[in-house]
Amino acid sequence: MKKKLIIFDMDGTIYLGANLLDGAKECFDYLWDNNIEYVFFTNNSSHDLDFYYNKIKNFGIKCDRVKNFYSSTEVAIAHLKKCGYKKLFVVANKSLKDKLVNDFELITKYDGNTKIDCVLAGFSTELVYQELRDACLYLQTQDCDFIATNGDFRCPIEDGLYIPDCGGMIEWMRLCTNKKATVMGKPNPEIIEYLADQFNVPMEDVLVVGDRIYTDILVGVNAKVDSVMVLSGETTMEDLKNYDYRPTYILDSIKSLKDLLK
């Protein structure tokens, strides 16, 4: 299989928590040596891209901070700008809020008078109840938009364990307000089109690689590009029975990817 651009998930695909998966470094060396472009794309909006750049670089993988790193945050910000929004109420980590302050006014409390354009939710590891409460009050009292960076229910960490992610947070808000967030990260196919365009590569030369069926693989299905599911993270062969779509290829881990690309 010949591809020109590979879009990689990180958590569960390249590493698990602090541990690089076996064969990952050799895989990226192969891509580098064979001029196959790669991008690290994460739905995880709890860290900024410098965090991922440093993590990947410290694993000894060749990468460029600007060229190779994208997250659902960039896609969400591009969308908010396109909509012409000015005032936001944001439930997310400080790192995401810091990114937004240049382009938007961030409202930090519900007061019953201030009109906002949008409630934005991101994976928050700094979540406080007051934020969730105020976001839900805005969603019930105003005809504002409701956007989420990602819809992942949980994020894999070390030892086969998970921590709650943005998908659960927006589900909690939906149960309170009856409003459903529009999700910007994977599986929204706009990401693949955006990246193919950035690298000037036709869609048929794009491959997505990830460990989660309902985000990493579904984004490939939605964008009609080939996908590889690795079994090193969240989704198991057993789980596949619950979905009516399939990855193009299934591998035990990233270790076997370079054989597939030869």
User: From the list 3, 12, 27, 209, which residue makes contact with Mg ion (rule: CB under 5 A)?
Assistant: 12
The nearer residue to Mg ion, 89 or 185, going by C-beta atoms, is 185
Angle CA 136–218–191, to nearest 5: 75
Rule CB under 5 A: say whether 211 interacts with Mg ion.
yes
The answer to whether 28 and 134 have CB atoms below 8 angstroms apart is no
Rule CB under 5 A: say whether 226 interacts with Mg ion.
no
The nearer residue to Mg ion, 185 or 233, going by C-beta atoms, is 233
Rule CB under 5 A: say whether 167 interacts with Mg ion.
no
- Taking alpha carbons only, the member of 181, 170, 188, 184 closest to residue 78 is 184
The nearer residue to Mg ion, 165 or 211, going by C-beta atoms, is 211
Beta bridge pairs of residue 105: 87
Structure token digits, residue 5: 């651009």
Rule CB under 5 A: say whether 152 interacts with Mg ion.
no
Rule CB under 5 A: say whether 131 interacts with Mg ion.
no
With CB under 5 A as the contact rule, which of the stretches 10-18, 48-56, 60-68, 176-184 interacts with Mg ion?
10-18
> Minimum distance between the CB of residue 43 and Mg ion, rounded to whole angstroms?
8
- The Cα 229–Cα 246 span in angstroms is 9
The nearer residue to Mg ion, 122 or 233, going by C-beta atoms, is 233
> Minimum distance between the CB of residue 21 and Mg ion, rounded to whole angstroms?
11
Q: Where are the beta strands (DSSP E) in the chain?
A: 5-8, 15-16, 19-20, 37-42, 69-71, 87-91, 105-107, 118-121, 145-148, 154-156, 162-164, 182-183, 206-210, 226-230, 249-251
Provide the Cα torsion 251, 255, 258, 261; round to 10°: 10
Rule CB under 5 A: say whether 117 interacts with Mg ion.
no
* Residues 231-260: x where in contact with Mg ion by CB under 5 A, - otherwise, as a string: --x---------------------------
Rule CB under 5 A: say whether 220 interacts with Mg ion.
no
Rule CB under 5 A: say whether 165 interacts with Mg ion.
no
Helix (H, G, I), strand (E, B) or coil at 8: strand
User: From the list 7, 9, 227, 253, which residue makes contact with Mg ion (rule: CB under 5 A)?
Assistant: 9
The nearer residue to Mg ion, 212 or 258, going by C-beta atoms, is 212
In one-letter notation, the amino acid at residue 51 is F
Rule CB under 5 A: say whether 145 interacts with Mg ion.
no
Phi, psi of 51 (to 5 degrees): -60, -45
The nearer residue to Mg ion, 83 or 162, going by C-beta atoms, is 162
> Helix 166-177 crosses helix 129-141 at what angle (to 10 degrees)?
50
Residues in contact with Mg ion, counted by CB under 5 A, come to a total of: 6
Provide the Cα torsion 184, 219, 204, 200; round to 10°: 20
The nearer residue to Mg ion, 134 or 211, going by C-beta atoms, is 211
- The residues that touch Mg ion, with contacts defined as CB under 5 A, are 9, 11-12, 211-212, 233
